[in-house]
Amino acid sequence: MPDFEIIAEGKLSGSATEIDITSIPATFTHLECVFALRAATGAASGNGTIRLNGDSGLNYGHCGGYTSSGGSGGFATRTGGLTYFQAGVTLAHAGGPAGIFYVNRVIIPLYASTTTSTKTIMSMQTIGWNDSDNFTEYCAGFWNSTSAVSSVTLGNLGANYDTNSSWWVGGYA
C-alpha cells in the first residue's frame, strides 16, 4: 500500500443537494479531503456542512477565524452541540463569476480510531477572483464518536452544489 493514496474522487455532472462520499476504508492513519465547491446559480446561501457517518446528532463543534479583502478581517466563533461541522465547507458565493470554486482542505487525524472518543477536524478554505472579492478561513472542530469515519457527507444550508463541484479524499498510511 502506498503511503498516500486517493481513496475517492469525483465531480458533479449536475447540481446536487449534497455530496456523499461513502465506503471510506479504515486502513489508513489520517484522512485528507479536498473540495472545490460552488453554489448553484441563484442560491441564497454560501454555506455548506460536513457530517460524518451520517450522524445528525448533537455531536459536533467548531470555531474558526477568517479574513476577507478590503482590509477588514474578523473572527467567527461557533460553539459545540451542533448537528454538523459547518466551517469546513463554504461554497463560492452565487454572485461570483462563472467557473469560480471555493477550495476547501480538511484533515481528520486518526479518523479510523475506535478508541479516541473525539475526532478533531482541521480545515482551511480560500477563494478569490479580484482585488476586492477574496476570502480565507481556517477552522477547527470535532466530532464526538468512537466510530471510525467511514463516510463524509457535504450538506448545504440553503444552496445546492453546482455542476462541476469536485472532490478527492486521500489516506495517509
Partner 1 sequence: MANAVTKLATLTPSGTTAAAFTSISSAYDDLYIIASVKTDSTSSSLTRATARLYYQFNGDTSFNYNSVNVYVQGHSSVATGEDYWNSGSASNNMYLSCAPTSYYSSSNGWGSFEMYIPGYAVATSANPEYLGKPHRVLGCYDFASTGTAYMGNSFNQMNYGMATGTNTAITSINFKTIYGNYTAGTTMTMYGIKNT
Bridge partners, residue 102, by sequence = 37
Per the DSSP assignment, residues forming a β-bridge with 84 are none
* 7 is a contact residue toward partner 1 (CB under 8 A): no
The 3-state DSSP composition of the chain as helix, strand, coil percent (nearest 5) reads 0, 50, 50
User: How many helices and strands, by DSSP H and E, does the chain display?
Assistant: 0, 11
Binding mask 73-92 for partner 1 (x = CB under 8 A): --xxxxxxxx----------
Residue whose cell numbers read 472518543? 117
The residue (of 109 and 128) whose beta carbon lies closer to partner 1 is 109
- Quick one: CA dihedral 112, 88, 151, 169, positive or negative? negative
Q: Work out which of 140, 151, 163, 166 binds partner 1, going by CB under 8 A.
A: 140
Among residues 22, 27, 114, 117, the one that binds partner 1 under rule CB under 8 A: 117
Smaller CB separation from partner 1, 55 or 162: 55
Q: How many CA atoms lie within 13 A of 38 on its CB side?
A: 22
From 22, 114, 116, 130, residue interacting with partner 1 (rule: CB under 8 A): 116
Residues facing residue 156 across a β-bridge: 48
**Could you identify the residue written with the cell 461541522?**
85
Residue 2 touches partner 1, criterion: CB under 8 A: yes
Q: Is 62 in the site for partner 1 (CB under 8 A)?
A: yes
Binding of partner 1 at residue 110 (CB under 8 A)? yes
Which of 46, 62, 59, 86 lies closest to 141 in space, CA to CA? 62
**Binding of residue 168 to partner 1 (CB under 8 A):** no
Residue ranges binding partner 1 (CB under 8 A): 2-4, 29-30, 57-59, 61-65, 75-82, 107, 109-110, 113, 115-120, 122, 124, 138-142, 144, 172-173
